[in-house]
Amino acid sequence: MAARIALLKYLRVEARPAQLRNPRLIGGSFSQLFKRQFSEEVRGSFLDKDEVRDRVINCVKNFQKVDPAKVVPNAHFQNDLGLDSLDTVEIVMALEEEFGFEIPDNEADKINSINLAVDFIASHPQAK
């Protein structure tokens, strides 16, 4: 919210023809401001990667078809855990339930190892 207000303030002040003729200048300052405000604002809502890894590993271990001993951070769903496409879809659903947000289908395709799942979830602010 604070970021949004700051943004609007910035835009209102800077709407002068001279500035507008140089969009690159605005763009640069805009993105700096955006990054600074946004990251401070949101840093708190990204989950800690180690915590995510533990929760993902637990989630996958609970999957009946999987041998818990094989569930290590670099385990590949198909090659190491023997999961097929339906299993992978079920794992994605289990992760959605665990972390409370929906993983879009076009991203789900790429989540085929523990590490990739961890990276994806840890970089998503909606993950709980």
Q: Which residues are catalytic?
A: 84
The DSSP annotation for 69-123 comes to GG--TT-BTTTTT---HHHHHHHHHHHHHHHTSPPPHHHHTT--BHHHHHHHHHT
Helix or strand or coil: residue 17? Answer: helix
What does the alpha-carbon distance between residue 57 and residue 71 come to, in Å, rounded to a whole number? 7
Does residue 108 belong to the site contacting other proteins (CB under 8 A)?
yes
Binders of other proteins among residues 19 to 78 (CB under 8 A) are 63-64, 67, 70
Residue 54 or 67: the one with the smaller Cβ distance to other proteins is 67
Residue whose entry in the numeric block shows the structure tokens 């078809």: 65
Does residue 110 belong to the site contacting other proteins (CB under 8 A)?
yes
State the minimum distance, in angstroms, from the CB of residue 65 to other proteins: 8
Does residue 80 belong to the site contacting other proteins (CB under 8 A)?
yes
The answer to whether 74 touches 63, Cβ cutoff 8 Å, is no
Residue 40 or 90: the one with the smaller Cβ distance to other proteins is 90
Residues near other proteins (CB under 8 A): 63-64, 67, 70, 79-80, 82, 84-86, 89-90, 93-94, 105-110
